[in-house]
Structure 1
Amino acid sequence: MTFFTDYAKEIFATGILIAVTISTRVIVTQIVRRYARKEHFLEHRTILIIKYIHLLTNILFIIGLFIVWGVKTDDIFLTVSSIATVIGVAMFAQWSILSNITSGVILFFSFPFKIGDSIKIHDKDFPIEAEIEDINAFHVSLKTKEGEKIIYPNNLLLQKGISIISAQFEDKEFFD
């Protein structure tokens, strides 16, 4: 029983931190979903943003736990900077993955095109004309007129020139 009496403040603060973290996640999720419905965002994009927010909330929760349980701030910063350095070196080795994730976030927020748009990618060696079927964190799924499915990386999509092709209507003869 001495553990509970010795660390009563820390246990109480941990309980409060857990309650605040859970309520923050629930409230922020509701706000994001409400905003997404209002702005007519696609469901999978909304889920992606919610996952990013939950990840940030979990990281803040862990840092809060360190502070509550008396880990020195210098030790926290040393640990976080060491982890960030290791991840940075690993990501530098995998820069294309980081580039695709960053491009996916840019595409998510800038909306230069949307699912269902027909686009033409101006690539000298491999020009593509296709319809956008899906936009993910790492790639865009395209479908050509011939039915070929193309998975195109987000970072290349931002590097190449893109034309959004307006809907082409068939020439029909109209009668009065």
Structure 2
Amino acid sequence: MATFSFDSFAAWALPLRSNTTRGLAAEYLVAHAVGGDLSQPRDEWGNHDTVTADGITVEVKSGAYLQAWTQSAPSTIVYTGLRGKWLGEQGIYLDGPREYRSQAYVFAAHTTTDPDRYDALDPGQWEFRVLGRSRLVALNQDSISLTRLQQLHPEPIAYRDLSAAVRDVSFA
């Protein structure tokens, strides 16, 4: 008789170098940093990835140099899906244009290039940059490369400073 556990399921279903799972890890880290509600499961159909303790809506975009597949060189990081349609109940898209739906956008780049050191849940292996919605509206783009983001915000924000950075850009 087989025994089942969440840990064995998670190791099988949620490889941390896959794009989907890594994105969830980034959302979790950011939600933790900004005081998002971690007592409930995330709402995969929500209009925002997390909401700070003081009500600021946050979208998290993630990318990485390492992927789950064999690579000949590190990946180029591009953050996509900056705009989206608003979602109603049960994840049904509402009529209207695609818009920037959050007040703050956290761009997370997992920077490790050594597969043996890769740990998606180590905040020290990530670089974070934060832009407010108004800055993205001015850019009028659906995606942005890490290279372009580094031109706009050259220095990454320390994990411990994410909450303050989100607060700062949301009121700018």
Instruction: Give the number of the structure whose residues are more often helix, by fraction.
Output: 1
Structure possessing the higher relative contact order (Cα contacts under 8 Å, 6 or more residues apart): 2
Same fold (TM over 0.5): no
Compare CA radii of gyration and give the structure with the larger one: 1
User: What TM-score results when the alignment is normalised by the length of structure 1?
Assistant: 0.24
User: What TM-score results when the alignment is normalised by the length of structure 2?
Assistant: 0.24
